[in-house]
Amino acid sequence: MPVTTETKEKIIDSVKKIMKQYAPPLVAKNKDGAIDCEWIGNIEAAYGHKKEMVPGMYFASTAVRKDSVVFYFFPTYMNVKEFLAVAPNTYKCLKGKTCFHFKKPEDVNEKELNAMMKKGIEYYKKQGWIKT
């Protein structure tokens, strides 16, 4: 069954609401109200194999796709087991290494997403990519 526009809007609003709670220390890279919403760390960091300096290490983003709302969460790439322990239901929506596909509003587990965000911020602080 196709995901309706209204369902996608409800899902993305839920995810954005959770993400906005963590700014600061996270910084919004795109303008508020954009369909895609991206969050980065608040310290300039070396990125990639060339170690090019970026304004902040990529943290998470969300976007509307044809059949779902996607939530890219980069901290899970570093230690999936640690995040799986705090968000077992959310990880049922994981496709690949960092991309969660939400097709129903109930896929967005607010408690688990908050736990993931907090754990991700702790990890970024340890790496020196976020300061409070």
Instruction: Confirm whether 42 is domain-assigned.
Output: yes
Instruction: Confirm whether 130 is domain-assigned.
Output: no
Instruction: Confirm whether 97 is domain-assigned.
Output: yes
Model confidence at 37: pLDDT above 60 = yes
Domain count, the chain: 1
Instruction: Confirm whether 131 is domain-assigned.
Output: no
Instruction: Confirm whether 22 is domain-assigned.
Output: yes
Boundaries of domain holding 113? 5-124
Model confidence at 104: pLDDT above 80 = yes
Q: Which CATH number does the domain housing residue 117 bear?
A: 3.90.1150
Sign (positive or negative) of CA dihedral 57, 91, 109, 9: positive
Residue-level pLDDT at 31? 59
Residue-level pLDDT at 30? 66
Q: pLDDT tens across 45-88, in order?
A: 777 777 777 777 778 888 888 888 888 898 888 777 788 888 88
Mean pLDDT of 124-128: 85
3-class SS letters over the chain = CCCCHHHHHHHHHHHHHHHHCCCCCCEECCCCCCCCEEEECCCCEEECCCCEEECCCEEEEEEECCCCEEEEECHHHHCHHHHHHHCCCHHHHEECCCEEEECCHHHCCHHHHHHHHHHHHHHHHHHCCCCC
